[in-house]
Amino acid sequence: MNDTTDRRIIVALDFDDRGAAEALVARIGGACGFYKVGLELLTAAGPDLVRGLVDQGHEVFLDLKLFEIPNSVAGAVRAAGALGASVVSVHSMGGTGIMAAAVDAAREFPGLRVIALTVVTSMTGSDLADIGIGAGTDEQVLRLARLAAEAGCDGVVGSPREVGPLRKLLGPERLIVTPGVTLPGGEVGGHARSDTPWAAFAAGASHVVVGRSVTRAADPVAALRRIAVGR
């Protein structure tokens, strides 16, 4: 792996087959050291893909958004640790019991960090109202982040719009992993609360998750370098 690789930048392997994902990883080469594998690719390709990425020296964010009974969440976290994942996500709306179970299970794997999804970046205040939550997205994100910190999570997932308040709440050490970032002129996809990766970093994000801006770019390596140098 290239020692100059900026591991604050996580590339989302949002593909529905293993071949396409591995082709992109090969094309990017040493320009990226951190990949996100979500439910779509994990279901399509299986856990061997994650093992393969780890064996190549990459870090893997296994974005499972776990929301189950605590025993099941703990089992899934242990499985993520056994695969060599560096980060696994749980859903903070599952409550303190789920998050604490995940944190406890991760202790068996010193290299595994648990982060809690706050409010999905596709959701708006009206979406929260639909499920009976009267708070706006900003307020709900901070409420859930506070719960995650109390449960011992290593950090949270939040949109670029909430990074500043999250950093103020969580302090300097915890991870703030920020999806919903795009380069100027790029597609925002399904994200309702998006911004540039540079805005996210400036506000205090520890990592950004980039998808189409890199994976669909004519030159993915150039797109990554553009993000890394901040323009």
65 is catalytic: yes
Question: What span, in angstroms and rounded, lies between the C-alpha atoms of 122 and 168?
Answer: 23
R_g over Cα of the chain: 17
Longest dimension (CA), the chain: 48
State the catalytic residue, choosing from 18, 65, 146, 226: 65
What are the backbone angles phi and psi of residue 27, rounded to the nearest 5°?
Answer: -65, -40
Cα angle at 74 between 95 and 39, to 5 degrees?
A: 85
By annotation, the residues acting in catalysis are: 65
